[in-house]
Amino acid sequence: MPRPNRIKEAIREERKAHGFCLTLPSASVVEILGKLDFDFVFIDGEHGCFGLALLEEVCRTAELVGITPIARVPDISEGTIGRYLDRGVRGIIGPHISTREDAERLVRASYFGAIGERSCGSSRGNNYGIGIDDWSAHMTQSNETIIVGAMIEDQAGVDNLDDIMAVPHIDYLMIGPQDFAQGAGYPGQPRHPEVRKRMDAVHDRVRAAGHQVREDILNFAWDRELLMAGAQGVLDSWSAAAR
């Protein structure tokens, strides 16, 4: 039976799931932070440094500490998404979704039939094929426990937002703020008032259509923020003790 997805459990409980974004190529970071009450780890496969062997180790570690591994993939090709799911990832975030065709490709690659066309093999993500007597039931349960998000990062995505939202089996949409700001003509300024205005307009359209944005279901911090905050806290305590 596929492993449970704590993000989907949080949605059913009508609460936000809490997690952290991993860009540092380290399963040890997941093991340490997993001792806290996080629901998930968001693996940044687009900008982080993760080969497949390390990705699998991160997924294994996440499961050992009881949190759900999800990943932003570097691209939405069937091969890339399939390899991430085969390692044990339980959620896919597809970057640069600009058209209905992009969204449909994301869904096809992320789900087994009858929803999608995900290739099925005896990988770690399928428990190496061990103990699966009914593959049809296993594939159905896998589809039910995966979560899929689509990233809107350019003007084409905004222009085609209604078509993207019309594609079923995408659980939420999110904006990639840096690329979105760059596409809006404000490179490096995701907090610019005009960029924020356009981002808010996208969120309003998504919610008005009855869909969710990332901020509705997830809270997360970056690994570097947690590292810096912890180190700063130690330095502050040393300074206070010295006074």
Q: Tell me, yes or no, whether 196 lies in a domain.
A: yes
Q: Residue 216 maps to which CATH number?
A: 3.20.20.60
CB 158 within 8 A of CB 164: no
C-beta of residue 147 within 8 angstroms of C-beta of residue 5 = yes
- 61, part of any domain: yes
Q: Is residue 69 part of a domain?
A: yes
Q: Give the pLDDT score at 144.
A: 96
In the chain, how many domains are there?
Answer: 1
78 occurs within a structural domain? yes
**Tokens 């998404």 correspond to what residue?**
81
Q: At what angle do helices 100-110 and 78-87 cross, to 10 degrees?
A: 40
Average pLDDT of the chain is 96
The answer to whether residue 1 sits within a structural domain is no
Per the model's pLDDT, the better-predicted residue between 1 and 212 turns out to be 212
- Contact (CB, 8 A) for 45 and 74: yes
| Residues 166, 220, 85, 209, Cα dihedral to 10° | -10
223 within domain boundaries: yes
Gap between the Cα atoms of 228 and 218, Å rounded: 22
Domain-embedded: residue 167:
yes
Q: What is the 3-state secondary structure (H, E, C) of 63-81?
A: HHCCCEEEEECCCCCHHHH
Question: Whole domain around residue 129: which residue ranges?
Answer: 6-242
pLDDT, tens digit (0-9, with 9 covering 90-100), for 90-149: 999 999 999 999 999 999 999 999 999 999 999 999 999 999 999 999 999 999 999 999
Average the pLDDT over 159-183 and give the result.
Answer: 97
Q: Would the pLDDT of 177 be above 80? A: yes
Write down the pTM of the prediction: 0.94
pLDDT of residue 63: 96
